[in-house]
Amino acid sequence: MERPVNYSRGPVLEEGVDQGVHIIFLPPEVEADPGPTVLPSQAELDAAALSVPNARPTDIVVFRGKPWHKVHGRLEKHPEVHVRFPETILELRVQEQKAVWWSEHDFRITRIEPHTPAAAAKSASYKEAPPEKPFPEPPTNLESDVDGLAARIHVARSQTPIPEARSFEYKINFTRSGRTVDPNMRCL
């Protein structure tokens, strides 16, 4: 895998408020869905990890049509990665922080839902079910990146989570060319 050149540094973020998540598509072209049983080899995963040197644990690397998170220099499989490495879950403080998902490639947030059916029914620590969603699905817009480069990036900016969403985890479903990826987000 060739090392990509010219990744954007992302949109302008409000310090202490906006939590940026880079959605990186490898390769950038949409490929045919390899199917649920075809996983990349360790050599392919290692090469993919090298191609995204600045990916943070909460960034989403979509490789072979599946979501991965980069942890300690390696790509780790979703969703197991969230159990082994909880720092891969985007955390937002209710009424204070906003998520800013962005990519060099078009994507659309299609659904936000509680992480598990059990969580939706009832939380172990609360007597009530979590709210259906912590905020409405944000639209994706084109913005200039932080460097003001001519290339535009695709950005979805959330509202702050509502107080009732505190302590609940959600799946943020986004699509690109009909393929769905569903990273996790937790409200604090």
| pLDDT tens-digit readout, 128-177 | 788 999 999 999 999 998 888 756 899 999 999 999 999 999 999 999 88
Name 154's bridge partners. 103, 142
**pTM (global) more than 0.85:** yes
Q: How far apart are CA 103 and CA 58, in angstroms?
A: 14
- Three-class DSSP category at 142: strand
Q: How far apart are CA 39 and CA 110, in angstroms?
A: 25
- Three-class DSSP category at 140: strand
**Contact present, 106 and 116 (Cβ < 8 Å):** no
Residue 122 has pLDDT above 80, yes or no: no
- Model confidence at 39, in pLDDT bands (50, 70, 90)? confident
Name 171's bridge partners. 113, 184
What is the DSSP code (8-state) at residue 1? -
- Model confidence at 91, in pLDDT bands (50, 70, 90)? very high
Residue 127 has pLDDT above 70, yes or no: no
How many residues are listed for the chain in this entry? Answer: 188
Q: How far apart are CA 106 and CA 169, in angstroms?
A: 25
Mean pLDDT of 80-98: 95
Cis-peptide into 27, omega within 30 deg: yes
Residue 13 burial class via C-beta count within 10 angstroms: exposed 0-12, middle 13-18, buried 19 and up: middle
* φ, ψ of residue 65 in degrees (nearest 5): 80, 5
